[in-house]
Amino acid sequence: MMTMKLRKATVASAAALVLALTAAGCGSDGGGSSGASGSASAGGKTITVGIKFDQPGIGLKTPDGKYTGLDVDVATYVAQQLGYAPGDIQWKEAKSADRETLLQRGDVDFIAASYSITPARSEKVDFAGPYLLAHQDVLIRADDNSITTPTDLNSKKLCSVTGSTSAQNVKTKIAPNAQLQEYGGYSECLTGLENKVIDALTTDNTILAGYASQAQFKDKFKLGGFKMSNENYGIGVQKGSELKAKINTALEKMIADGSWAAAVQKNLGPAGYQPDSTPQIGVIVS
């Protein structure tokens, strides 16, 4: 009987030890985990940021696994002001159609992905910023002097990506006789532009400058300098998140200390892009 009792005690002790170790392990994982919305404000060890993976000069994941672009630099600066080193950032692809869902589900802490602030989007998420005022523009060949105003796009072959409203906006509002050409991606439009299959490519001037700043396109293209729309780029956060105010403070500091201007010049300057104004945080230009 004594042996039986000892065995039962030993089993019970072992079970208690396993439970204690499991609880300790779970506590350790919970303290260091992040990636969901709220982890940044809760002081997690990592922060998850949504960016574009396919826009040179804006947000690009390179073949060697690095991340480059203006949005990457802005997001890195903001994260550092929130207390996270560059190595603490987990980058997540934020395609245009997925951005609100990523924030609402808590898959990311914030998104910096050429994310224009609009009334419709502001009903679903909150925005810090804006940190950049972009405009719809055109990219043309550097030696093309036939397109000097938006109306010169009449009878020209105008390219944009499938599903984009940029080219349709030009045809509807500015140049009704433009010949629309829809390609699968901006790279295809650039190839067509370089080979004179098309005459102009249209989307945000920042996106155009990012592509044109790539080494293989050096001195081949130029921006038209047209301001066919105002696109206020903001940083998206979950509705009601306390991060909005903190990110605004970080952006104000980035502008004040010169880091913002340096990031713009580094990523978009090679294509001749110059911001027409320094952004005012909290002021939306209509």
Q: Give pLDDT, residue 168.
A: 85
Identify the helix (H) or strand (E) that includes residue 76.
helix 70-81
- Taking only the tens of pLDDT, the chain with its 286 residues reads 434 333 434 434 434 433 333 333 333 333 333 344 445 644 569 999 999 999 999 999 999 999 999 999 999 999 999 999 999 999 999 999 899 999 999 999 999 999 999 999 999 999 999 999 999 999 999 999 999 999 999 999 999 888 677 888 899 999 999 999 989 888 899 999 999 999 999 999 999 999 999 989 989 999 999 999 999 999 999 999 999 999 999 999 999 999 999 999 999 998 889 998 999 999 999 9
Q: What is the pLDDT of residue 60?
A: 97
- Number of other residues whose CB lies within 10 A of the CB of residue 242: 12
Phi and psi dihedrals of 167, rounded to 5? -65, -40
In terms of DSSP bridges, do strands 110-111 and 89-93 run parallel, antiparallel, or are they unpaired?
Answer: unpaired
Whether 160 and 202 have beta carbons less than 8 Å apart is answered as yes
CB 158 within 8 A of CB 167: yes
Domains of the chain: 47-133+232-271 (3.40.190.10), 136-223 (3.40.190.10)
pTM tops 0.85, yes or no: no
What is the pLDDT, as a whole number, of residue 44?
62
Confidence (pLDDT) at 164: 76
**Cβ neighbours for 163, distance < 8 A, ≥ 6 positions apart:** none
Instruction: Please report where in the chains the tokens 């300057």 appear, as a residue.
Output: 269
pLDDT at 69: 98
Residue 206, CB-side half-sphere exposure with 13 Å CA sphere: 28
Sign of CA dihedral 135, 138, 144, 149: negative
- What DSSP element (H or E) covers 121? helix 119-122
Cis preceding linkage at 130, omega within 30: yes
List the beta strands (DSSP E) in the chain. 47-51, 54-55, 59-61, 67-68, 89-93, 110-111, 125-134, 136-141, 157-161, 179-183, 200-204, 221-223, 231-238
Q: Name 99's Cβ contacts closer than 8 Å, sequence gap at least 6.
A: 50, 111, 113, 115, 125, 236
Tokens describing residue 37: 């919305």
